[in-house]
A and B are shown apart, each in its own frame.
Chain A
Amino acid sequence: MRGWLIWTPFVLFLAFVGLFASGLFKPDDHVIHSRLVGQNLPAFALPPAASDRPGLTSAQVATGKPRLLNIFASWCVPCAAEAPQLMALRQAGVEIDAIAIRDARPDVDRFLARYGNPYARIGLDARSAVQIALGSSGVPESFVIDSKGRIAYQHIGDIRADDVPMILDRLKAAQ
């Protein structure tokens, strides 16, 4: 307990102060990215959420061609704002599947009738169980799924008009 040992607590404490100070003045980053980026989709099988589209299973998303998986809800305002961009992506030839979160079929039907339906399949995730398994923390979110069924990219929030080219590039890269 003598000599240099006596000063170790003091030196350790200085290191802590430095750490705290660095933590305090760092800008806050509240975006929570999924831990699954770069990994396979978790397995799921969801019933249909709309009357004219089939439900969705994880196997159907891995088709050997990159796809977009959109997480939305009829009760979500930014999802309505995102709809035109999704339609634009659909016209560009992108295949889009969707998961409707905590929703009911009549509501989804109404939403699609009003804002357009770019989706091939829509699964109903009544309790957000799949959403949580995907590591998604809100609506809307979109996942670029590569040809092998792996999550290549996670887009948090609505896809804005100037995001569309970037999403297209991501889909190309996921080939």
Chain B
Amino acid sequence: MIAEAGLAALWLAAALALLQLFLAFSGTKGGKDELLGAVRPTAVAQGLLTAFAFGALITLFLRSDMSVLLVATNSHSMKPWLYKFAGTWGNHEGSMLLWVTVMGVAGAAVALFERALDRATHMATLGAQAAISLGFYAFLLFSSNPFARIDPPPPDGQGLNPLLQDPGLAFHPPTLYLGYVGLSVAFSFAVGALLTRRVDAAFARAMRPWVLAAWVLLTLGITAGSYWAYYELGWGGWWFWDPVENASLMPWLAATALLHSVTVLATRDSLRAWTIMLAVVAFSMSMVGTFLVRSGILTSVHAFAVDPERGSFILALLALYIGGALALFGWRIGSVKEGALFQLASRESMLVVNNLLLSVILGIVLIGTLYPLMTEAFGHKVSVGAPYFDRVAGPLALALMVAMAVGPLMRWRRDELRLVGRRVALPVLIAVLLVVAMSVFAAGRIGLLPFLGLVVAGSVGVASLLPLWRRKLWRTPLFTWGMVIAHLGCAVSLAGMASDSAFTTEKLIAARPGDTIRTAGWTLRFVSITPVAGDNWTALQADMQVDRGGAPVLIHPQSRFFASPPTTTTEAALLTRWNGQLYVVLGEEVEGGRWQLRVWWKPFVTLIWLGGGLIALGGALALIGREKRGWIGKWRARRAEV
């Protein structure tokens, strides 16, 4: 019954999306206001229905209803409840249902809370949102129905991939999708503005909070995913340049560029066409990413089902939406007037530099991700790995960090280079001191990129705080704080990345219980191997006492065996200290009762995710600051009327 109700809700939501599309565009074209009046309630109802359908699927998973095909193939009654719950989106159909749910709820939010946009553009935006949703409803209902039944139901399910049986699954996909799909709002805004030809500062001010919100969630999702991969896969790495990781990074790069160009448009009414373009590109990257992941066209560690039918369905959607938006852009943007112009030495031009660098990095990642596909079309098999991305994108990312440090210290419209030079004197001095100090203490021991990374991180970290210099801190607007904290977060994250690749020590040994291992100032005493059992797994666990001169701590790296489906996973033992992490992985037994052990000491590696958290926090503060200003303004206006 629940499954049928969920499916009915989906069909109804799809019908409402069609209605919403019709109402918005025929109302706008024919100037029929009574039709337009029904658009917002329709959008809200659509959002509620998708949420209901998603809730129905969660319920089915929690109750382990094996008569539903999706539950039978992806769950197991023995699983802990958290993984039954998170397992809802740990599969293709469930995650696509999450996708349309986020899209429906985002559309409802735009209908309910968007007040700054003029009515015509607002309606066109909601129409565009309905048009996008419609394609994904069709995809769900015609080729990946999450509510399909199986008859007769199996006695129990096939279980969930053990790598996914982790609290990370409860957090990473939903936040990532909220960001990923939240960008659809920016896309709809851009299409709406192109249709009404109202691309101006007011439009940018209306769009900015939505972009910010999606971007904050996307940042959180990527950060969480990176940390999850880091501790779950047991490779000791935090980013592998895997196609699916790139698929989440590309929308983030585009959204970061959009965030900055929308600010220029909102404050200075410049970069009109460019902002619209970026808004289209950001969500296009989300869709391209989904296509790459879901079609199985590229092989990756995120192995999802390969299904050309699904792949061609998404490709058709891509062609329709992105192609349509780009065609609309080409056809309409000529009639949008050029925005205001600005001097070369100004904050606007620094933001243009930011946008150019981000776009180039995006292009590098996109080409690197698709290159194997391109060469394969011509009969060559090539795989593009980390060395390419590190070497090509790394230097540009460092240049971007430098621009990020200088930009906020420049004035809008025009500035004097002499004055800017004076403002950046301190960070430059710090950079010089760092270069000298590290050349003396660590010359030849670290590669060029990590070396530069550490220098830039130290110098930019200080520079990012300079906008607060000589200001009354409690009078400084919240969004300035947000910018400072987000930029500081970038420096902190970079410091972690550079430190990890410069100073990590790795030891791979075979040891017997009773042996003592010494590495990087740590002493590890391998006490014993004991079998342990969990809810739905059994494991061999190494008990080790570790210390570096203080009291010893017990750690327990495990090698886990899951019965359904039969898989072995490694559970790394992580010991976090203020200046880094000890990362221990238990491998296989080798001959003679010895066990393979991998021991990493990773100085300051935690800064990577701390920085990611700071970036998201900065975005959240900026969002609250901007919105609060709007609320206070409204409240004052209301007071003035009384």
Instruction: Give the B-binding residues of A (Cβ under 8 A).
Output: 1-2, 6-7, 9-10, 13-14, 16-17, 19-26, 28, 104, 126-127
Q: Chain A residues with Cβ under 8 A from B327's Cβ?
A: 10
Chain B: minimal CB distance from A71 (Å): 20
Q: Does B168 contact A (CB under 8 A)?
A: no
Tell me which of B273, B288, B297 contacts A1 (CB under 8 A): B273
Chain B residues with CB under 8 A of A16: 288, 370
Summed over the interface, the residue pairs from A and B with CB atoms below 8 Å come to a total of 63
Given contacts A1-B273, A2-B334, contact A24 B308 (CB under 8 A): yes
Chain B residues with Cβ under 8 A from A104's Cβ? 591
CB distance from A92 to the nearest CB of B (A): 33
* B377 near A19: Cβ-Cβ < 8 Å: yes
- For residue B624, CB closer than 8 A to chain A, the reply is no
A-B contact list, 18 entries, CB within 8 Å: A6-B334, A7-B330, A9-B329, A9-B330, A13-B284, A13-B326, A17-B315, A19-B370, A20-B295, A20-B315, A21-B315, A23-B373, A23-B376, A23-B377, A24-B308, A24-B315, A26-B376, A127-B590
Q: Does B215 contact A (CB under 8 A)?
A: no
A1 touches B274 (CB 8 A): yes
Secondary structure of the A contact surface, majority rule = helix
Shortest Cβ distance from residue A151 to the other chain B in the assembled complex, whole angstroms: 17
Which 6 pairs between the two chains have the least Cβ-Cβ distance?
A10-B326, A7-B330, A6-B330, A24-B311, A23-B373, A23-B297
Tell yes or no: B318 within 8 A of A by CB.
yes
Q: B312: CB under 8 A from chain A?
A: yes
B residues less than 8 Å from A7 (CB atoms): 330
Give the number of chain B interface residues (Cβ < 8 Å).
Answer: 31
**Distance between B298 CB and nearest chain A CB, rounded to angstroms:** 8
Residues of B within 8 A of A19 (CB): 370, 373-374, 377
Q: Which residues of B contact A126 (CB under 8 A)?
A: 590-591
| Chain B residue with Cβ nearest A9 | B326
Chain B residues lying within 8 Å of A23, measured Cβ to Cβ, are: 297, 373, 376-377
Instruction: Pick the contact of B333: A6, A21, A25 (CB < 8 A).
Output: A6
In Å, the complex CA distance between A23 and B295 comes to: 10
Do the beta carbons of B295 and A24 come within 8 Å of each other? yes
User: B residues 581-633 with Cβ under 8 Å of A?
Assistant: 590-591
Given the complex, which residues of B lie within 8 Å of A13, measured CB to CB? 284, 322-323, 326
Taking the complex as formed, is B291 at the interface, i.e. its CB lies under 8 A from any CB of chain A?
A: yes
Contact of A28 among B306, B315, B319, B329 (CB under 8 A): B306
Q: B280 CB to closest chain A CB, in angstroms?
A: 8
Chain B nearest Cβ from A32, distance in angstroms: 8
Are A24 and B297 in contact, with the CB atoms below 8 A? yes
State how many angstroms separate the Cβ of B639 from the closest Cβ of chain A: 44
